[in-house]
Chain A
Amino acid sequence: MTMSSLKTKVKYALRRRLWWIKALQEEREKKKYLAELRSAPRTTSSASKNVFLLSVDSLGAKHLGCYGYSRSVSPNLDLVSKRGVLFDRVITQASWTKPALASIHTSLFPSVHKADSAGEAGDRVGVQSANILSDRFCTLAECFRQGGYGTAGFTDGGYAHSFFGFGRGFEHYDNAAGGLKSCLSRALRWVLHHRDKPFFVYIHCWDAHFPYTDRPPYNRRFIDKRAGIVLDSRTRSEINKGQRKLSPREMEFLRGMYDGCINLVDDQIPFLLNELERLGVADKTILAVTGDHGEAFGEHGILEHTECIYNEVLRVPLILCGPDLPAGTRISSQARSIDIMPTLLDLCGRMSPPNIEGVSLVPWIKGQRQDHLVAVTETERRGGQVAIQDGRYKLIQKKGEGGIELYDLVSDPNENTDISKTQPQLLSMMEEALASWEYQMEKLRQDYWSGGDKAESNEVSPEVLERLQNLGYIE
């Protein structure tokens, strides 16, 4: 074993084992919140709707009960989904955190916001090579803040760190808020002092991200037989390069550890719901839960998420619960992570900024629309991969490896049978759809990135204006 691989092993071992430090921090944060709650003066909360957006890192739809998972890892989220609206088929726009979050916060695709490539840094915060979220894009928090909302964000750093531009629009952004439980305590404490006006609170927690915490009881709950494997960036890379194979027992162990992490997240949900109630904001607060991407366990020979363009990683949950969200609504039409921003703004009666790519899902919630929204996911890993899916068919283009794959997601939801060779007409239909999307992205990139004079340059000249006035088109 080399020195650096030893260091990696030690680092991840510590990250998994030092759960008790986190647990102490959580207790401290919770106590602080409860103490302030007791001494806080009574205030009447604002009449407008609030939004509490929780994105859980690596939370795939596949591993949640309300999305059909066989293990009972998410009883509380399942309950929340029954009290509100569940979107059955939501596709993230990137297979790893930074571009995926940037798409949630700007309603744009990664090839437009370009908050992607982290160089070779893997899961490390590669500062030098990091593309940060450019301030040319309007973020969800900025929209709320402009609308007079109080805005606060809580995360534990990583790619959600304000360094990458994610703090923009937040009056308060906490990069070291700890795990979900302490994030929640800090967020609730903030709400306690800011509930006199409408608020937008955002949490991005990392509790379900590998190397999967060794915290009891979650490290045992979904494990039959323990295996001596730890998922770290090195193991991941060895497996994904085909240099190492995991035994079924090892794979099953990792899956069980990951399920334990989801269960840990799920266990915090009642605390959040109870406290929102106690703060007197529950009936006016929209709770939105989503994930930035899922997690792969060898379904397509890939472990973890970053390099995976298949739906075990691309399908994320989206659960909305709160005022004007009809309980027990399940929407089977396909939606995208980029639709979260316009939907939340629309639910609060706020206007979305122009030139975003997502659409408000409110017409789907009201039952006015049933069509699938075409979803595109991009990752620059493995030389660049892109997937487009229309609710039925999915085309994958592996630019680096030069491969094309086509799947019929209705007859083959697990993407096992590539029909690109046998269905040339379907293939060309999906290729046209991708070409059409790429054409639009190219134009949009030009609009956003080719200098600040764009707004003037695509307007017509005064001569044309006068001619149109003469014609009666314009006064």
Chain B
Amino acid sequence: MADAKKIAVIGLDCAPPELVFDRWRDGLPCLRSLIADGLWGKLHSVTPPITVPAWSCMMSGKDPGELGIYGFRNRKDYSYDGLTIANSSAVREQRVWDILSRSGKKVIVMGVPGTYPPSRVNGCMIGCFLTPNSDAPYTYPPELKPELESKFGPYQMDVKNFRSEDKRPILDHIYEMTNQHFAMAEHLVSSRDWDFFMMVEMGTDRIHHAFWKFFDSEHFKYVPGNQFEDAIHAYYRHLDGKISSLLQLLGNETTVFVVSDHGAKKMEGGICVNEWMKSEGYLSLRQSVDKPTPLSKMQIDWSKTKAWGEGGYYSRIFLNVKGREPQGVIDPANYESVRDEIKAKLEAMQDHEGKPLGTRVFKPQEVYRSVRGIPPDLIVYFGNLTWRSVGSMGMGGIYTFENDTGPDDANHAEYGIFILRDPGRKDGRQLDGLRIFDVSATILDRFGMTVPPDMQGKPVPRS
């Protein structure tokens, strides 16, 4: 097979293999034809399977430890409230478009998580959903912004008012956002000279989180015949149409990737991780709380607290270590034994009905090649990601079925999707064992370029 002339990557944040490959494939003609002609399979995400850092891992071939980005929020120091959200300048490793730019290839990069503020490339870049608002400088070069706004209006980087139970406006806005992104993509690929194009659509992730309970008959909140039963499916059909029109503009000689950073699955409920810490004697409060209170508002007696946890789709556990945290209590010599003890207890946790939860717990030092920045002491998938982690206390127990941060019915799953169609090929072959890092390695390989040896991925063999 000759080297690729052009490569296009369409990223669908959170698109799960169960929906794209199995349940809905036949109703998605464009994706179905890519699968029928291409190489495809489940794509194993990183630990944790979260948008930030997963896309940066995919495009750099580095794991979260090597990036020093362990999730949306990272500790900037060892204080108790020192969690910050890192933007693109925290990504220190080169990503595919940096390598391609250096070798003289023209790139278009749109909305890939981890690209706000946008960086200098040989081509153009539109910042990701972490762009604060449409007034911000979200394009490289800066002149691109007025050009886009004159044609497509203010940039819709993300869905607004997501917390609402009023679902109709959310749905409308997801469509509006997706339509704008594809319109911008069509404009850029037809008005610019390019070798590499990549876009990431966040609508898929947002619609899963907002509408999962309406379609998944196994979700405990599912009501048969509800008005949004078809919402996600209809959106996928719409998206398939958008991808189809874009592919027509890309031409037959373009190598096409459709990928996602992680999957989605139903959420059973939440584990109030700090209530559990308290019940196990790891966390002590100066004043108990009787109504839902976030961790930052609680009176924690740090001098009697060994560990605490953060909420989110997965949990991060932090140990209160002497000489490290301001009021640390764990002797550094006992750090490993305390960590092992908490890990074992979490793994043995039961659900509200006394059945094993199947929680998985990871030590960053064991799952990453190196550990930069300040990693959490433990990473926890409650019920293997079927339960979320709730950091707030005062929810009336360890198990909760109401989300403390607003409606949300889906959690992230460890596998995303991978579809690759080399031009002119009729492969139609399913691949096993694909890892998220393989995407960047395959892009470089298809261009006939050398994959830097420090990237973790392996190119999908040219057939």
Q: Choose among A360, A374, A470, A473 the residue that contacts B453 (Cβ–Cβ < 8 A).
A: A374
A468–B85 CB distance below 8 A: yes
Asked whether, in the complex, the Cβ of B313 is within 8 Å of the Cβ of A439, the reply is no
Which residue in B332, B403, B454 is a CB contact (below 8 Å) of A472?
B403
Of B39-47, B94-102, B104-112, which stretch is located at the interface? B94-102
If the complex has contacts A354-B372, A432-B452, are A471 and B312 also in contact, measured as CB distance less than 8 A? no
Known: A349-B335, A463-B133. A433 touches B313 (CB 8 A): no
> Restricting to B119-168, which residues have a CB under 8 Å from any CB of A?
129-133, 136, 158-163
Q: Judge if A414 is at the interface, Cβ distance under 8 Å.
A: no
A48 interface residue per 8 A CB criterion: yes
CB neighbours (8 Å) of A356 from chain B are 372
Report Cα–Cα, A468/B206, bound state, in Å.
11
> Does A278 have its Cβ within 8 Å of any Cβ on chain B?
no
In the bound complex, do residue B370 and residue A359 qualify as a contact, i.e. CB atoms below 8 Å apart?
yes
Are B99 and A469 closer than 8 Å at their CB atoms? no
Complex Cα distance, B132 from A147, in Å, reads 40
Q: Is B312 touching A467 in the complex (CB atoms < 8 A)?
A: no
Assess whether B408 is in contact with A472, with CB atoms less than 8 Å apart: yes
The reply to whether the CB of A1 lies closer than 8 angstroms to some CB of chain B is no
Which residues of chain A from 448 to 464 have any CB-CB distance to chain B below 8 Å in the complex? 455, 457-461, 463-464
A42 CB to closest chain B CB (Å) equals: 24
A458 to B371, CA, bound (A): 20
Contacts of B89 in A (CB 8 A): 443, 446, 457-458
Across the interface, name the chain B residue whose C-beta is closest to A440: B92
Q: Judge if B351 is at the interface, Cβ distance under 8 Å.
A: no
Residues on A with C-beta less than 8 A from B373 are 354-355
CA A119 to CA B193, docked complex, whole Å = 47
Q: Which of B323, B371, B404, B452 contacts A475 (CB 8 A)?
A: B404
Q: Are B158 and A467 in contact (CB under 8 A)?
A: yes
Interface readout for B388-432 with A: 1 if CB under 8 Å, 0 if not? 101110000000000111101000000000000000000000000
Query: Closest Cβ of chain B: how far from A77's Cβ, in Å?
Result: 29
Pick the contact of A48: B132, B333, B451 (CB < 8 A): B333
The residue that A474 contacts in the complex, of B73, B102, B162, B374, with Cβ under 8 A, is B73
Interface size on A, residues (CB 8 A): 52
Question: With A and B bound together, what is the CA distance between A351 and B376 in angstroms?
Answer: 12
In the assembled complex, B324 has its CB within 8 A of some CB on chain A: yes
Chain B residues numbered 415-463 whose CB sits less than 8 Å from any CB in chain A:
450-455
Residues of B within 8 A of A (CB): 50, 68, 72-73, 75-78, 84-87, 89-94, 98-99, 102, 129-133, 136, 158-163, 206, 209, 294-295, 310-313, 321, 323-324, 332-333, 335-336, 365, 369-374, 388, 390-392, 403-406, 408, 450-455
Measured in the bound complex, the distance between the Cα atoms of B87 and A195 in whole Å is 46
Evaluate whether A359 and B84 lie within 8 angstroms (CB atoms) in the complex, with A146-B323, A435-B102 already known.
no
Give Cα A363 to B336, complex, Å.
Answer: 14
Q: Is the CB of B452 within 8 A of A435?
A: yes
Q: CA of A390 to CA of B455 in the docked complex: distance in angstroms?
A: 13
CB distance from B283 to the nearest CB of A (A): 16
Which chain B residue lies CB-closest to A439?
A: B94
Q: Which 7 A-B pairs have the closest CB atoms?
A: A461-B132, A432-B452, A349-B332, A472-B408, A443-B92, A439-B94, A458-B89
Can you name 28 A-B residue pairings with CB atoms under 8 Å? A48-B333, A146-B323, A349-B332, A351-B324, A355-B68, A359-B370, A360-B365, A429-B453, A432-B99, A433-B453, A436-B99, A439-B92, A443-B89, A458-B90, A459-B85, A461-B132, A464-B131, A467-B160, A470-B161, A470-B162, A471-B206, A471-B209, A472-B405, A472-B406, A473-B72, A474-B312, A475-B391, A475-B405
The verdict on A274 contacting chain B, using a C-beta distance below 8 Å, is: no
Question: Is A428 an interface position by the 8 A CB rule?
Answer: yes
